[in-house]
């Protein structure tokens, strides 16, 4: 354990030491997050102004599960926040969460976007969308299944199939159609690629502008970051329009950011209070505007740019049910050598 702790920065160790030696004030809550703190700071500032509860934020870029395991019962963490529902489920499966009994959270967050036993909650959504060339395509609707159509041969761009965004989409495809059909779909999608599966979601828009591909699979929120980025990224976003695909027997696949209540939370009351604020209409509106994501609370206002993509019909599968096929999805990516 000592060897593992040596890898932490002195700042992190000082934070833990303070928590252990003197105890944290009841008016504080400690958030471990894999999200860039700047993306959520507007929410945390508003929470503190509204409640007087200070939020101590620790950014954990990698190894969140390992870190909290090492800290064990001595961990000062109250809330563990991360991106991708698979990561949320990993926290639960590693026994790092505890159940939350909150009528506020249950009323604010749909059942498909939280665990049935109260161990994790989604706090924002991003749709796995299609970016389409404004100049070379005129599609207004498409199914995920249609991305395998040979008419798109040499016209499709996507990031690595092994990336969690795509692993989750493939897992959803398995949940809808079974593993055999998902394998054939993945082979056909690969045959339609204009370049190898690589880069990031913004690179999809870049390559559409560069006439490398006509369609690409990417998350909705990147459009907001591009339109508010430098001139180069703005030109990428101006080259595309966004289509929200659906499964033929379902809706649009979404992934989430979310959080769990840490198993050994020393400030449980304040932690639940923060979770409830993040799921509230006010908190969700700030979330949506600061990160260009869809709110999970249907009463919250959607950012106008995201709303311009059209109505979002969320797929009817529970995220827990999709997560069961994550390993199978990863195996298929390797089996068909999707990235090669």
**Are 224 and 153 members of one domain?**
yes
**Are 229 and 291 members of one domain?**
no
**Are 243 and 281 members of one domain?**
no
* Residue 222 in marked binding region: yes
- What digits encode the pLDDT tens for the residues 67-88? 999 999 999 999 999 999 999 9
- What digits encode the pLDDT tens for the residues 170-195? 999 999 999 999 999 999 999 999 99
Q: Is residue 326 part of a domain?
A: yes
Q: Is residue 168 part of a domain?
A: yes
Q: Is residue 53 part of a domain?
A: yes
- The bridge status of strand 79-83 relative to strand 28-33 is parallel
pTM of the model: 0.87
Q: What is the pLDDT of residue 1?
A: 43
CATH number, domain with residue 81: 3.40.190.10
Domain ranges, residue 277: 2-124+254-304
Q: What is the pLDDT of residue 18?
A: 40
pLDDT tier at 14, thresholds 50, 70, 90: very low
Is the model's pLDDT at 40 over the cut of 90? no
Is the model's pLDDT at 17 over the cut of 80? no
Q: What is the average pLDDT across 204-221?
A: 98
Average pLDDT of the chain is 91
Q: Is residue 46 part of a domain?
A: yes
**Are 44 and 114 members of one domain?**
yes
Q: What is the pLDDT of residue 218?
A: 98
**Are 136 and 10 members of one domain?**
no
What end-to-end distance do the CA atoms of the chain give, in Å?
Answer: 39
- Cα Rg of the chain, angstroms: 21
pLDDT tier at 291, thresholds 50, 70, 90: confident
**Are 240 and 269 members of one domain?**
no
Q: Is residue 340 part of a domain?
A: no
Structural domain count of the chain: 2
| 311 three-class SS | coil
**Are 142 and 187 members of one domain?**
yes
Proportion of the chain above pLDDT 70, given as a percent: 92
How distant, in Å, are the alpha carbons of 26, 96, 155, 224, 328 from that of 325?
41, 22, 28, 30, 5
**Are 115 and 206 members of one domain?**
no
* Residue 32 in marked binding region: no
Tokens linked to 17: 């030491």
Q: Is residue 309 part of a domain?
A: no
**Are 116 and 208 members of one domain?**
no
**Are 282 and 229 members of one domain?**
no
Q: Is residue 177 part of a domain?
A: yes
Q: Is residue 39 part of a domain?
A: yes
16-30, 76-90, 219-233: segment of lowest average pLDDT: 16-30
**Are 77 and 144 members of one domain?**
no
Instruction: Annotate 59-89 with three-state secondary structure.
Output: ECCCCHHHHHHHHHHHCCCCEEEEECHHHHH
**Are 330 and 283 members of one domain?**
no
């Amino acid at each position: 354990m000592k060897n593992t702790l040596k890898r932490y920065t002195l700042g992190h160790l000082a934070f833990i030491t303070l928590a252990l030696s003197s105890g944290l004030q009841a008016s504080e809550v400690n958030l471990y997050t894999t999200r860039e703190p700047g993306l959520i700071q507007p929410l945390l500032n508003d929470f503190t102004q509204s409640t007087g509860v200070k939020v101590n934020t620790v950014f954990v870029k990698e190894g969140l599960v390992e870190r909290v395991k090492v800290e064990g019962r001595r961990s000062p963490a109250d809330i563990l926040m991360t991106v991708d529902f698979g990561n949320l489920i990993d926290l639960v499966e590693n026994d790092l969460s505890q159940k939350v009994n909150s009528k506020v959270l249950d009323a604010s967050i749909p059942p498909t976007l939280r665990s049935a036993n109260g161990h994790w909650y989604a706090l924002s959504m991003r749709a796995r969308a299609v970016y389409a060339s404004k100049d070379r395509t005129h599609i207004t609707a498409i199914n995920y299944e249609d991305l395998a159509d040979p008419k798109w041969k040499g016209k499709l761009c996507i990031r690595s199939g092994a990336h969690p965004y795509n692993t989750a989409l493939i897992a959803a495809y398995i949940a809808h159609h079974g593993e055999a059909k998902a394998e054939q779909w993945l082979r056909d999608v690969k045959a339609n690629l204009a370049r190898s599966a690589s880069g990031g979601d913004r690179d999809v828009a870049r390559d559409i502008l560069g006439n490398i591909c006509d369609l690409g699979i990417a998350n909705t929120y990147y459009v907001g970051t591009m339109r508010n980025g430098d001139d180069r990224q703005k030109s990428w976003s101006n080259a595309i329009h966004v289509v929200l695909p659906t499964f033929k027997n379902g809706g649009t696949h979404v992934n989430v950011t979310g959080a769990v209540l840490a198993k050994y939370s020393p400030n449980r009351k304040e932690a639940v209070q923060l979770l409830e604020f993040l799921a509230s209409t006010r908190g969700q509106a700030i979330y949506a505007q600061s990160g260009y994501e869809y709110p999970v609370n249907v009463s919250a206002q959607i950012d106008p740019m995201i709303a311009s993509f059209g109505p979002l019909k969320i797929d009817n599968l529970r995220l827990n049910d999709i997560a069961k096929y994550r390993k199978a999805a990863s195996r298929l990516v390797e089996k068909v050598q999707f990235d090669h």
